[in-house]
Amino acid sequence: MTQRAHEIAARVETFVRDVVIPYERDPRIEIHGHGPPDDLVQEMRALAKAAGVLTPHILADGSHLTQRETAIVLIKSGLSPLGPLAVNTMAPDEGNMYLLGHVGSPDLKERFLNRMVAGEARSAFLMTEPATDNGAGSDPSMMQTTCVQDGNHWVINGRKTFITGAQGAGVGIVMAKSADGACMFVVDLPDPAIRIERVLDTIDSSMPGGHAVITIDNLRVPADQMLGHAGEGFRYAQIRLSPARLSHCMRWLGGCIRAHEIATAYACRRQAFGKLLVDHEGVGFMLADNLIDIQQCELMIDWCAGVLDTGSLGTAESSMAKVAVSEALMRIADRCVQVMGATGVSGDTIVEQIFREIRAFRIYDGPTEVHKWSLAKKVKRDFLKAAAG
């Protein structure tokens, strides 16, 4: 690991612990309902910019840290659910910046990417569609949203759901299906042709704007706002999705490290049945299991990041990491709640929220079962190839 990554990670950790964590009690969060409000986000980002830790994974010259370097920085940013928002490493923005940086034209980078890197605009990735419309959920090949070329514009129609951060976003990446295949477009938000039907009530609450159901009605997009080329949308999605899956693992590992710290402090101070909780084998063993799972998560993330750093899409590797890490983090968060008993399910500490966020993480960016199904297909494919050759 490079010295620059260690230095950046240390600065991010200090900022999150000293500046961001106190914001967890800010009353604006409770009043808002669907994630932290944008005025709070911008307030924290101004402090992050002053501290030199805003968008820390993208360097001043526009280059990106390696995935292995990014991992240790994003883990530190995740020590608070507000940390990624404050330092601009959150989803979906981090993944959208990565995609625009790799596929966007110079004009699209100038118009859209730069203000995202500067923390001035949030973004949304409009891919998932309602199950009631037989639309694209975990299977993007079922996409129903269409795009049709009309002169030097494309016209987009369809519905999307679980679109994180759409309410309040300034940039949108819209995925739709043309006669040539899937396409992606970068658009300014809000737009009157993109209507938010409602913001869903979900178990998680860390994302500004929540998760929205959206109708797209005759959205006209200039042809030069297509990302890359027509029909290449699924390939671009893979460029984004593998690193984005891993980034989720990084951030929420940070959250679980924090939950483990809180549960450990509770167990080492609380007396019950004549001794400290930690001295009761049933409690101490849960904390020991947490240490094991945390270490395994760190190793899995580092391994997958190393694969991505070779230039590989890392599709299978990121699926394995997503399954292994999300399931391990669920175990860690659940043990932390259990160690703390009634306090663990209360809002007195951040442990309760981290538990909820991790439960949602087992579903978004691909449920465990979808990734296992994909890996099982690879097992069969590799066997048949080996048997034939």
**CATH: 1.10.1200.10, 3.30.70.1450, 1.10.101.10, 1.20.140.10. Which one for 234-388?**
1.20.140.10
| Structural domain boundaries in the chain | 3-90, 123-229, 234-388
Question: In percent, how much of the chain has pLDDT > 70?
Answer: 99
CATH architecture of 3-90: Orthogonal Bundle (1.10)
Cα-to-chain-centroid distance, residue 355? 16
pLDDT at 32 over 60: no
Rounded to two decimals, what is the model's pTM? 0.94
Residue 51 to residue 44: CA distance in whole angstroms: 11
Looking at residue 279, its pLDDT comes to 96
pLDDT tens sequence across 245-282: 999 999 999 999 999 999 999 999 999 999 999 999 99
What is the average pLDDT across 304-326? 95
**CATH: 2.30.40.10, 2.40.110.10, 3.30.750.24, 3.40.50.920. Which one for 123-229?**
2.40.110.10
Cα-to-chain-centroid distance, residue 375? 22
* DSSP string of 327-358, one letter each residue: HHHHHHHHHHHHHHGGGGGSTTSTHHHHHHHH
pLDDT at 31 over 70: no
pLDDT at 131 over 90: no
pLDDT tens sequence across 185-241: 999 999 999 999 999 999 999 999 999 999 999 999 999 999 999 999 988 888 888
CB 178 within 8 A of CB 230: yes
What is the average pLDDT across 330-350? 97
Pairing label, strands 194-200, 211-222: antiparallel
What is the average pLDDT across 11-30? 95
